[in-house]
Amino acid sequence: MSPVMSGIGMTSQRTRSRMLSRLREQGIRDEVTLAAMGAIPRHIFVDEALSSRAYEDVSLPIGFGQTISQPYIVARMTEILRGNGNLGKVLEIGTGCGYQTAVLSKLVKEVYSVERISPLLMKARGNLRELRMRNIKLKHADGTMGLPELAPFDGIIVTAASGHIPEDLLTQLAIGGRMVIPVGTEEQTLYLIERTPTEYLQTKLEAVKFVPLLGGTS
């Protein structure tokens, strides 16, 4: 039996079903997003000592001052990014432990994910290797710069809060594309940015709490 299915994994399907019920109660409506959340074993993305809390609606530490977002936030950002439509190529800023990356991989053709903290990226690679996902490309780079060489992207999801909406990321969004990003320092708000042929439309959504988006690499 694979490590994914051993231990807590034996009961995780029931636990995941409870998580999905809670997400529906919290207002998540996109069943495609919910199915992806239900298909990913969240417990393999957290430290073993915290695995019993993996399906609770809380953010958990993953080391290096970073966290894995609570299931509601992952589902909400994914649902907004999808907009009930199919996405081809998506850029994720902030791989973290790889959980959001794994969820996205179930929903889009290609996921490109950038992480600035090298040991964290190595950890994410190990987590994702267990799931044998072929449509994910990870890169150690400064997320504030995006990946201009691979632009444009149908969707961009930013998993850390920026003091402003980075210009470099806006220019990498395809026409008709969507970006979901938390903005703010002390008080943070989730924004949806939609690129039209002539402008960027901003929709202010809800209050959130993320670690700050930092430049550079380590």
Residues assigned a catalytic role: 69
Straight-line distance from the first to the last Cα atom of the chain, in angstroms, rounded to the nearest whole number: 36
Question: Contact 187/207 with Cβ under 8 angstroms?
Answer: yes
Q: What are phi and psi of 189, to 5 degrees?
A: -130, 140
Cβ neighbours of residue 5 under 8 Å, at least 6 residues apart? none
Question: Contact 82/148 with Cβ under 8 angstroms?
Answer: no
CA 105 to chain centre: 10
Secondary structure of 43-96 as H, E, C letters: HHHCCHHHHHHCCCCCCEEEECCEEECCHHHHHHHHHHHHCCCCEEEEEEECCC
